[in-house]
Structure 1
Amino acid sequence: MAAPSEGTPIWADAMFSDLEGAQSFYGDVLGWTFGEASSEFGNYTQAYSDGKAVAAVVPPMPGQEGQSAWCLYLASPDAAATAERIRQCGGTVLMEPMTVGDFGTMCLARDPSGVTFGVWQSGTHEGFEKIGEPGSFAWAEVFTREPEKSDAFFSAVFGYDTQRMEDERIDYKIFSLGADRPVMGRMKMTDEEFPAEIPPYVQVYFSVANCDTAVAAAERLNGTLAFGPMDSPFGRFAAVVDPQGAPFAVIDLQTTVGEAPKMT
């Protein structure tokens, strides 16, 4: 398998104080099964869809307890070089590049607007084994109150091209690796829709066969519906917060309505 281009979303994981609760929730909502916890790596536990690795859950390390959140990792051929670029472009390296056995090298960082993300340099673990199918990663969006900072930062660090959506109602851009390879969206957080206590974050979208069914399962298991379900030219989607406070989104990529908006 060819290595993904730098800046490509490659993996997602989240810390949960109640690991069994998280497995039960996502197993029902997304149809995931889970492998054995790796005690050597802090009980890191991979999630699978149709036998293919799609994400992971892990208990918090001492001192990291708190609200859960999904972390999206972006591919890098050299995590140390990417970490240095992050610093040079005004970001903060939260965890210096760390080798994880022979699986690869990771680091955690924050953009100048406060958005936390990960960097992954693949070893034997090459990231998502399934993308865009039910139960797997589908899309991601950077939610920020300072879009100018995020736009400049991610473009400088990962070489993204940017296009703005022609929609007066929202401030939305697409980050792409070339004209035909969109990798992430960027949404401006407004005070009307996002209370001040909600920090900037990356919204991870997981594909589902039926958005409404997934939302119903999430609510039945004490998840909270934050937005939607809503039809769009890209799929029917909804934003959800799981019982431990981690926001994420589900999207049915097959149910599309309307024409895609123009980009400039």
Structure 2
Amino acid sequence: MVRVATKNSEDVSALAIGGSGRLAWFDVTSTQIDISQEFYLNLFGWKSEPIEIAEAPGYLVMRSGNQIMAGVDPIDKSKGPAVWTIFVSTTDLRATAQSIETHGGAMTIPPAQVLNLGRMAMARDPEGTVFGLWEPQEYSPADIPIVEGKLVGARLATVDPESASRFYVEAFGWDSRDEDDGSVTMQCGGMVAHVQKDLQANVWTPTVAVADVRTSCRRVAELGGSVLTGEAEDEPLVADPLGALFRLRTVAMVGGT
């Protein structure tokens, strides 16, 4: 089991981020914004609106009622396929960036102010997997109630699960447990992240809440997406029409708008 000590006052990982380290936010890159908007509007009831981020022109947020749920980042087709990105919350972006670099990761995009909501930055782990950081100010996405489409977990596909999980444990203070099948389970601020071996990819895939997995799988297909694993699975893997992967989990809806 990979663990990190958090009692040392000089440790710059778990203590530096002040008990944060939750999976808090996610956004999807899109080469065709209209298609992404229509798909997620009809799947989750999300509505989109533009916001101003100097470093990300054309960025959209998607809302469920008055709750901001996720983002859409427009990209050119030359920059690759559509993909979801996971963001980890932090109360101190500077200290968290230091922790990431200390433990073998790297910052790839410096902090950017997002209106008065908070600050975001981009990083990668030692295996090259991209993830983001979110420092909340007036908006803490991890605290929104459970509604359709809320981020409730994630899976990391990586060529080296042991090395990757060690990084996140050391950088964010997460707990981890080695499983019998060679995967690793990490506890990250009240959510669970599974780390699995994949020789062809280093990528995070979000898991989102739905009222009923079977119904949502059928809806994904009707809207032009793909169901890539059986809908009878606990967390079936699906893709939007542009190929961005995510998983579905049946969760009791307890929040309103």
Q: Could you say which TM-score interval applies, normalised by the shorter chain?
A: 0.7 to 0.9
CA RMSD of aligned residues (A): 2.3
Q: Which runs of 5+ in 1 are unaligned?
A: 255-264
Whose relative contact order is higher, 1 or 2, with alpha carbons under 8 Å and at least 6 apart?
2
Q: Which runs of 5+ in 2 are unaligned?
A: 1-16, 253-257
Indicate which of 146, 156, 161 corresponds to 2:170.
156
For 2:77 and 2:20, the matched residues in 1 are separated by 31
Which residue of the partner structure matches residue 184 of structure 2? 173
Which residue of the partner structure matches residue 245 of structure 1? 243
Tell me the secondary structure at the aligned position of residue 229 of structure 1: coil
Which residue of the partner structure matches residue 53 of structure 1? 68
**Contact 1:176 1:184 (8 Å CA) reproduced:** yes
Evaluate the alpha carbon distance shift between residue 162 and residue 221 of structure 1 in structure 2; reply closer, same or farther with a 3 A threshold.
same
Indicate which of 179, 185, 189 corresponds to 2:193.
185
Evaluate the alpha carbon distance shift between residue 134 and residue 102 of structure 1 in structure 2; reply closer, same or farther with a 3 A threshold.
closer
Evaluate the alpha carbon distance shift between residue 63 and residue 250 of structure 1 in structure 2; reply closer, same or farther with a 3 A threshold.
closer
Runs of 4+ in 1 over 4 A off after TM superposition: none
Evaluate the alpha carbon distance shift between residue 55 and residue 113 of structure 1 in structure 2; reply closer, same or farther with a 3 A threshold.
same
Q: Using structure 1 for the length normalisation, give the TM-score.
A: 0.80
Tell me the secondary structure at the aligned position of residue 248 of structure 1: strand
For 2:154 and 2:105, the matched residues in 1 are separated by 20
Identity of paired residues, percent?
Answer: 24
**Contact 1:130 1:137 (8 Å CA) reproduced:** no
Evaluate the alpha carbon distance shift between residue 4 and residue 139 of structure 1 in structure 2; reply closer, same or farther with a 3 A threshold.
farther
**How much does 1:227 deviate?**
1.5
**Contact 1:207 1:253 (8 Å CA) reproduced:** yes
Tell me the secondary structure at the aligned position of residue 99 of structure 2: helix
**How much does 1:225 deviate?**
1.6
**Structure 1 residue 206 corresponds to structure 2 residue 208:** yes
Which residue of the partner structure matches residue 258 of structure 1? none
Evaluate the alpha carbon distance shift between residue 248 and residue 63 of structure 1 in structure 2; reply closer, same or farther with a 3 A threshold.
closer
Indicate which of 23, 42, 45 corresponds to 1:9.
23
**How much does 1:73 deviate?**
0.7
For 1:126 and 1:64, the matched residues in 2 are separated by 33
Q: Using structure 2 for the length normalisation, give the TM-score.
A: 0.82
Which residue of the partner structure matches residue 218 of structure 1? 220
Number of residues paired by the alignment?
A: 234
The superposition leaves residues 119-145 of structure 1 with CA deviations (integer Å, 9 ceiling, x where unpaired) of 111122322453443231121122212
For 2:18 and 2:231, the matched residues in 1 are separated by 32
